[in-house]
Amino acid sequence: MKLKLDENLGRRPAQLLRECGHDVASVMGQGLGGASDRALIEACRGERRCLVTLDLEFANPLVFKPSNHAGITVLRLPSKPGYHDLVDAVETLAAMLARSPVEGRLWIVQPGRVREYQEPRTEEVEGADAGA
């Protein structure tokens, strides 16, 4: 899987994901530090990379529609996180990537847990309107 780690993640998460066989680029390594959220997600889309971030703004599917991207993964850590919390969340992400594709999806990853946002299907919405 092609991943892009946001600037708020360090070297160890990149190393862990590379050890699992993923193609990992970083925002800082590509000179995108300080870029707007929109510029960052467009760079990910152009490179067909899943964004991995701690930035909760990317968890809003009304702003960043998951099906338009190669995947969006937001790591959620405890309110007073330690370094081990970050490593645990990245290990949880790696395990999930081994089982399921992230392309077109929004994953909220916590240590030991992954929640996936489900976009409403067009036919479900149309079917609901037809009966009204």
Tokens at residue 2, please? 């092609």
The pLDDT of residue 122 is: 62
Tokens at residue 121, please? 């299907």
The pLDDT of residue 132 is: 43
Q: 11-32: per-residue pLDDT in tens?
A: 999 999 999 999 999 998 888 8
* pTM value > 0.85: yes
Greater confidence (130 vs 22) lies with: 22
The pLDDT of residue 130 is: 46
What residue ranges in 1-132 does DSSP mark as E strands?
Answer: 2-5, 23-26, 50-53, 72-75, 106-110, 113-117
**Both ends of the chain: CA-CA distance in Å?**
43
Query: Strand, coil or helix: what is 25?
Result: strand
The pLDDT of residue 31 is: 85
Measure CA 14 to chain center: 14
Q: 46-86: per-residue pLDDT in tens?
A: 999 999 999 999 999 999 999 999 999 999 999 999 999 99
Query: Does 33 score more than 70 pLDDT?
Result: yes
Tokens at residue 59, please? 């968890």
The pLDDT of residue 8 is: 84
